[in-house]
Amino acid sequence: MVKRNPHVAKLKDSYLFETVEQRKQDFLAKHPQVTLINLGIGDFVHPLPKSVAAGLSAMAENLSTPSGFKGYGPKEGDKKLRCRIADVLYSQRVAPEEIQISDGILPSLGRLQVLLGANTIIAVQELSYPAYVDTAVVIGQSFDFDQNTQRYGRIVYMKGSAKSPFFPDFSDVPRIDVIYLCSPNNPTGIAATKEQLTELVAFARDRKVIIVYDAAYSSYIRDSEIPKSIYEIEGANDVAIELGSFSKMAGFTGVRLGWSVVPKTLRYDDGTPISSDWSNVYSRLFNGASNIAQAGGLAVLSSKGQEECRQLTDNYLKNARSLKDALSSMGHQCFGGIHCPYVWTHFPGCSSWEAFDNILENAHIVTIPGIGFGPSGEGFLRFSGFNDASKVEQAIENLSAFLT
Ligand code: MLT
């Protein structure tokens, strides 16, 4: 028989969001009369904007005609879409040739791990999206999981400083090859400032480290002083890869569309451009994003699409703001929720899973336990603003009846 892959065997039993879903289903099986409010996984609840749906269906319709049918497309994606991303989202800071269209950030993380290989030492922000660590574990970048520290050996977990508890303190980082950083951050909801990102780029240039910058929530930034892309920082094109997605910008969590940027100036220590290896990995592991999804992406990036998506994301930001205000007024320390639809909330005196169960059972709200994002998430819950305003209002009423 085939031996079990020891790296896969190291993974915790289930992915964080699946564990939460299972707990929710178990609760509903016992209490079928209860209506739960979902403030857990970050997923759109509103329908796609009409202009975006029109883009998707026009392509589907085209595919049913002899002249409009298309099979395989270029693996790096439709040129028009790459040009529009470079224009609308990057103001030409990166070239269309440096952009590869994908099916979302999570699968791109897996492909990136294949690109970088098992011998690289990665560092993640403490706290961070669990997929950075999980994909590194699958590829064999970690040593065993330590139950006491709740960490995988060899992976570096970068803590914050007293001044910025959730942004890495670069003064004490051992030898590493790659840093994963997400801003606005999932789960804390905090957007890194220009000053902080300048520090990150300076560190990466000095230590010859590659940054993998996850910009999944950049469309929630409403302050022009806060960078939406790492390439707004001078010198970043030589050290950073950026991952972007239409999921949280336009509700494409089911449609599936994203992109990566690997600048031509980003090189290995022997001078080889990383983009040529990325292109090679792409053609071996991916046949290109769906042409229907890409047509939808073009519609999202039209001025009408941008306006309609902005209205949707404004709603989720408003919800996050209401949750933050309400939870703060109930005496809980809260972070984020301004340029990101997540509110990171402290529940002192109990573990994250205890807080999760309490809120589930007594306020009938699904959240995400902070421990799932790293050991220092213990005692925290992540509340998401991705729901209808009326549901968020109801959630606040339930919370206030239970917590005050
Ligand atoms: C989240 O809720 O953190 C993410 O949206 C889940 C995901 O994208 O996998």
107 in ligand 1 pocket by Cβ < 6 Å? no
Domain that holds residue 74: 52-303
The residue behind tokens 């026009």 is 58
CATH of the domain at 349: 3.90.1150.10
Mutate to test the pocket of ligand 1, among 14, 24, 129 (most ligand atoms within 8 A of CB): 129
15 in ligand 1 pocket by Cβ < 6 Å? no
Residues of the chain above pLDDT 90, percent: 95
Task: Tell me what pLDDT residue 13 has.
Answer: 72
Q: Which residues pair with 259 in a beta bridge?
A: 101, 244
Q: Is 328 exposed, middle or buried (0-12, 13-18, 19+ CB in 10 A)?
A: middle
Mutate to test the pocket of ligand 1, among 15, 16, 17 (most ligand atoms within 8 A of CB): 17
- Which of 85-99, 138-152, 204-218, 219-233 comes out lowest in average pLDDT? 138-152
What are the backbone angles phi and psi of residue 69, rounded to the nearest 5°? -65, 140
Helix residue ranges, H only, 120-270: 131-139, 194-207, 247-250
User: Is cis: bond before 227, omega within 30 of 0?
Assistant: no
Q: What is the mean pLDDT of the chain?
A: 96
Q: What are the tens digits of pLDDT across the range 80-89?
A: 999 999 999 9
Q: Is the pTM of this model over 0.95?
A: yes
Distance 20 CA to ligand 1 centre (A): 12
Task: Tell me what pLDDT residue 162 has.
Answer: 85
Q: Is the pLDDT of residue 310 over 90?
A: yes
Distance 308 CA to ligand 1 centre (A): 22
Report the candidate in 352, 344, 48, 40 with the shortest Cα–Cα distance to residue 182: 344
Do both 14 and 112 map to the same domain? no
Q: Is the pLDDT of residue 307 over 80?
A: yes
Q: What are the tens digits of pLDDT across the range 9-42?
A: 998 878 899 999 999 999 999 999 999 999 999 9
Q: Is the pLDDT of residue 297 over 90?
A: yes
Report the candidate in 372, 336, 342, 340 with the shortest Cα–Cα distance to residue 356: 372
Q: Report residue 68 as tokens.
A: 């409009």
Do both 271 and 178 map to the same domain? yes
Do both 119 and 202 map to the same domain? yes
Q: What are the tens digits of pLDDT across the range 323-375?
A: 999 999 999 999 999 999 999 999 999 999 999 999 999 999 999 999 999 98
27 in ligand 1 pocket by Cβ < 6 Å? no
Task: Tell me what pLDDT residue 61 has.
Answer: 98
What contacts 261, CB < 8 A, 6 or more positions away?
A: 90, 94, 98, 99, 100, 231, 241, 242, 243, 244
Domain boundary among 256, 274, 303: 303
Task: Tell me what pLDDT residue 14 has.
Answer: 81
Domain boundary among 303, 330, 355: 303
For the chain, what is the domain count?
A: 2
Rounded to whole angstroms, the Cα distance separating 333 from 330 reads 9
